[in-house]
Structure formats: structure tokens, C-alpha cells
Amino acid sequence: MGNRRPLRCDALVVSCIDFRLQAHLDAWLSSVLGYGTYDRVALAGGVKDREVVLAQVALAARLHGIRLVLLLNHEDCGAYGAEGTPDRHRDDLRAIQHRIQAELPDLAVVLGYMQLDGAFVHVPATEGTPAQSLAAVVRDVLRGPES
Ligand SMILES: [Zn+2]
């Protein structure tokens, strides 16, 4: 006791509970992040409940020293229902990104939108910024600025 190394992992991943996503999500996360390198939260609606997401992000940062928060909403989300347009998902993702960056400025936040066909679409943080490969954005963050 007392000499344990701090528990660390790279990232927290927040996604919806929707079972239709899980096979795509498991494969993508294992490929891009590596299995066993991230904390994971599943909440109906993904980031829809901002306060719940913020609390989980703060815990993962405190307990596991994460560097990256990956927030994934998805197409045809039942928790959003008819409100779940791509614009609404984009706006919600950007809103919580701003909150996280205000409260935990050391964390990188990456936004994504999953399609039911298994595509992972990057959601740029600001309007007018071109979308990139979501996997490339995540890998760039984890690689860090120095290498
Ligand atoms: Zn959903």
C-alpha cells in the first residue's frame, strides 16, 4: 500500500448504449486506440445529458489521468428521437466540448458521429474547419505535439 503506481490510461470514450453500434465500435476502438487503453461510458443519447457526461470525464481525468476525451453520438439515436438531426448532434457535441475545455483545459476533446453502416465521421470543433479522418485525429492527439 502507498507505493502503487498511478493508474493511467489514454482516453475516455463516451457513446450511446445502442446495441446496433457495438460491433462497429468495438472493432474501431480496438484498431484506433488499442484494447485496454481507454475508459468507456455508454449513456443513452451519448452526450445528450451534459452534466452526467461532465461528471464521468472529471472522474476519468482524476482517477486515470486521461489525455483524450472521445465523444461519439450517432445516427438514428432513439434517445433524441425526431430531434436527432445531424445538426443537433453536431451542436450538442460542440457544446459539451466547450464545457469540458472550460473546466478541464488540459484534456483534448475529439468529436465524432457514427453512422449505422459503421462509418465514423469526424465532427470539427468549429464551423468552417474541414472534417478529417476521425481515426487520424485521435491518433494525432495521442501521439502528442513533440513526435
Ligand atoms: Zn442512441
State pLDDT tens for residues 46-85: 999 999 999 999 999 999 999 999 999 999 999 999 999 9
Q: What is the pTM of this model?
A: 0.94
Residue 142 CA, ligand 1 centroid: distance in Å: 27
Cα–Cα distance for residue pair 40/47, rounded to 1 Å: 13
pLDDT of 144: 79
According to the model, what pLDDT value does residue 110 have?
98
For 11-121+135-143, which CATH superfamily applies? Answer: Carbonic anhydrase (3.40.1050.10)
Q: What are the pLDDT digits (tens) for 24-53?
A: 999 999 999 999 999 999 999 999 999 999
- Residue 4's pLDDT band (boundaries 50, 70, 90)? low
Nine cell digits for residue 99: 464545457
Domain boundaries, the chain: 11-121+135-143
Question: Cα(4) to centroid of ligand 1, in Å?
Answer: 38
The least confident of 8-12, 19-23, 125-129 is 125-129
The alpha carbon of 6 and the centre of ligand 1 are apart by a number of angstroms equal to: 34
